[in-house]
Amino acid sequence: MTKTAWVFPGQGSQAIGMGADLFDLPEAKERFAEANDILGWSIAEVCQNEEDKVSRTLYTQPCLYVVESVLADLMQAQGQQPDAVAGHSLGEYVALYAAGVFDFATGVTLVKRRAELMDSASDGMMAALIGCDREQLDQQIQQTPGVVLANDNNAAQVVISGAPAAVEAILNTVKAKRAVKLNVSGAFHSPLMKEAAAEFQTVLDQATFKTARVPVLSNVDPTPATDADILKQRLGQQMTGSVRWREISLQLAEIGMTRVVEIGPGKVLTGLIKRTCPTLVLENVSSLSDIP
């Protein structure tokens, strides 16, 4: 029997025009209207803005959450259900929504505050390293104060985060096929987000979480969990903790998933999973036409 996991991408997967086929869909209009009321701006207008407004953190995160949540709703309306869920960074919020941990409005409220805090975080830098010597990288990180492994995406791709001087020091010493400084406002998934995380915690504490309908694999702890308190605690650690996506990929296979569907724009996560777990059947639902 096929066991299917749904995974949801995060910041970096956004694109101008995403969700265009959903905005006028009768069954989705209510969701977009509800989100617009909470946010105080229009998802459709931002996603279709030709000046790439959707790539500013303040807008990226709510837009991704809403578009991906609507696609997940449409999948469930067709009678499809996941056996497990996971999301990359921001995508974890959609995973929790799809698993019934909180309602749509709660998710929008949380993501709105998260985006505001992360957009205003001006300290720090992030950089992606592709094809680097992991042993050398781990050793250099241990020896360099002020930098951490932010995303362990797969064996060939990682992201480091921290103080600009510390990140530059790693880039200058670790050999990699390619190194790219990321266009982000701060050092996400690092201790430099501690103040933002503390502020966010006050909003998170007020949110109502329920037991998940299916296991959720969290960024900071990839072991499957359904308990509401555990999932909330893990989400609270996410802003300063590492995204352990390589381990999540391995865990999906470990718990018997045979098929993974990436729901959201782009094909980033299926690309990452393919390298770690080549035997998994991978599919993408980026738009309405992709829904079986």
Catalytic residues: 89, 189
φ/ψ of 52, rounded to 5, equals 60, 40
Neighbours of 190 (CB within 10 A): 27
CA 175/CA 168 separation, integer angstroms: 13
For residue 232, the number of C-alpha atoms closer than 13 Å in the C-beta half-sphere is: 19
| CA pair distance 242, 89, nearest whole angstrom | 9
- Contact assessment for residue 273 and residue 20, using Cβ atoms and an 8 Å cutoff: no
